[in-house]
Chain A
């Protein structure tokens, strides 16, 4: 183990807490000190629940002293994206539209984390209503990337990724409608899991597009993400239990979709991905080229599904208080009002086609592998960037390789796979079969030590 305790993984901390060698109060105080020191610059948190967190931590320490451990999450400081209800605390969605809101009850995922012993340290900043990929448009200020504060941390769960990276919390819970867990994980160097669609409850979570919304963990390791996923699913491991059963790399069959996916890639991102594949092959994995024939239709399908769903949710409030939205988010919501019903029907047909494409691509392999983001973290506020000799929209690029798995519902995870020469992190995305998120996690746990820096 290296570094301060609050930078360790849950798997490292859990036995220390269970044995009484580390107190939850000390760990929580260390996270709160990081928030106090760095949040003004990084804007990772909107609300810090310091008093409540310390009270929870004292209770968890008292339980350990009395011989009771709830499980591996006992006493671990965890943050929640400020889209997820925590009783007695505002859920702002990073918007002035939500001024005055206080959650009456925990969202089911929050309640399960609390029951498993997590200490809830606060609510993290995000792109307003999760309707963006950069965390720039927030009523509480743009979130900054700790690797380079002129850069975006990705979004929409940008504050969650920053919190993990800077020791403000040991893990965080985010949401993912087009990549909002995996994108900031890649841009900051964290692990981010989007489970199979529908596995984790989204009740008590402000929706963006209900047919695409997922809840999932951001963490420091695949094993930590696996634990948080199990807890939120309602299958919390008991004290001393093991849960992260990695596959062997040798013999893994990994499908590499190249057409469309590799058409637009930053050179350094392409390089880190190629190196990762080479290391996995060296360790005994087999890689085979596969195709997702209609991948290039994804953005058109995604827009015609997500925009009208978002417009429906915001219809009343955007008419009553349009000035309370940040300008870009307001316009994106307004766009949804112009989508024709017949085009939504076409997009639903497209969803079926894409799902069948991805199912076929997975038929003879254990998982698909592709970069999470085609570019490193973009400058804050940049509408476009240069890549592959062309000027491209940042939003389009950020969603390009992740949104397809929101449309199809396949589970997907991003793990760190090195950095660019400027020190900006890259993500390696692994995609598994629907309704078998744990098989994906077993593959990711096998790949994790091979693709890192």
Chain B
């Protein structure tokens, strides 16, 4: 990769901007539509109700309290 990857959390938008710029630098501009599709998948993954990025209260009823990564126990 042409630029160092940030060590702090990147939003999907920040990640996509970095990835597209890197693809250009590497001479792979045709990669950009695929990276945009991957960004959509990343958004979906991060918004899923079963992970730590999910909006509070979105877990299925009855599951949130039993899960170690439920909203209440997030760092």
Identify which of A332, A338, A346 contacts B45 (C-beta below 8 A).
A346
Identify which of B15, B22, B28 contacts A340 (C-beta below 8 A).
B15
Q: Which residues of A contact B51 (CB under 8 A)?
A: 346, 349-350
Closest chain A CB from B22 CB (angstroms):
8
The A/B interface has a contact count, at CB < 8 Å, of: 64
Identify which of B23, B38, B53 contacts A339 (C-beta below 8 A).
B38
Closest chain A CB from B60 CB (angstroms):
7
The answer to whether A334 and B28 touch across the interface, beta carbons within 8 angstroms, is yes
Map CB proximity to A onto B31-75 as digits: 1 under 8 Å, 0 otherwise.
100110010011011101111110000001000000001000000
The answer to whether B50 and A353 touch across the interface, beta carbons within 8 angstroms, is yes
Interface membership of A347, Cβ < 8 A? yes
Closest chain A CB from B40 CB (angstroms):
8
Interface membership of A304, Cβ < 8 A? yes
Q: A297-B44, A300-B48 are in contact. Are A346 and B53 (CB under 8 A)?
A: yes
The answer to whether A335 and B45 touch across the interface, beta carbons within 8 angstroms, is no
CA distance in complex: A409, B36 (Å):
29
CA distance in complex: A352, B24 (Å):
36
Interface size of B by Cβ–Cβ distance < 8 Å?
26
Q: Which residues of A contact B34 (CB under 8 A)?
A: 331-332, 335
The answer to whether B48 and A294 touch across the interface, beta carbons within 8 angstroms, is yes
Closest chain A CB from B44 CB (angstroms):
4
Cβ < 8 Å to B, chain A residues 248-303: 293-294, 297, 299-301, 303
When C-beta atoms are compared, the residue in chain B nearest to A349 turns out to be B51
The answer to whether A299 and B46 touch across the interface, beta carbons within 8 angstroms, is no
The answer to whether A350 and B38 touch across the interface, beta carbons within 8 angstroms, is no
The answer to whether B60 and A293 touch across the interface, beta carbons within 8 angstroms, is yes
CA distance in complex: A338, B60 (Å):
31
Interface membership of A342, Cβ < 8 A? yes
The answer to whether B35 and A335 touch across the interface, beta carbons within 8 angstroms, is yes
The answer to whether B48 and A335 touch across the interface, beta carbons within 8 angstroms, is no
The answer to whether A300 and B31 touch across the interface, beta carbons within 8 angstroms, is no
Interface membership of A52, Cβ < 8 A? no
The answer to whether B31 and A331 touch across the interface, beta carbons within 8 angstroms, is yes
Q: Which residues of B contact A40 (CB under 8 A)?
A: none
**What are some 30 contacts across the A-B interface (CB < 8 A)?**
A294-B48, A297-B48, A300-B44, A301-B45, A303-B38, A304-B41, A331-B28, A331-B31, A331-B34, A332-B34, A334-B23, A335-B38, A337-B1, A338-B19, A338-B22, A340-B15, A340-B42, A342-B9, A343-B42, A343-B45, A343-B46, A346-B45, A346-B46, A346-B48, A346-B51, A346-B52, A346-B53, A350-B45, A350-B51, A353-B50
Where the two chains meet, the residues of B that have a C-beta atom closer than 8 Å to any C-beta of A are 1, 9-10, 15, 19, 22-23, 28, 30-31, 34-35, 38, 41-42, 44-46, 48-53, 60, 69
Given contacts A335-B31, A346-B48, 5 further A-B contacts (CB under 8 A): A297-B45, A300-B48, A331-B31, A343-B45, A346-B53
The 8 closest A-B pairs by CB, nearest first: A300-B44, A300-B41, A300-B45, A353-B50, A338-B19, A303-B41, A346-B51, A297-B48
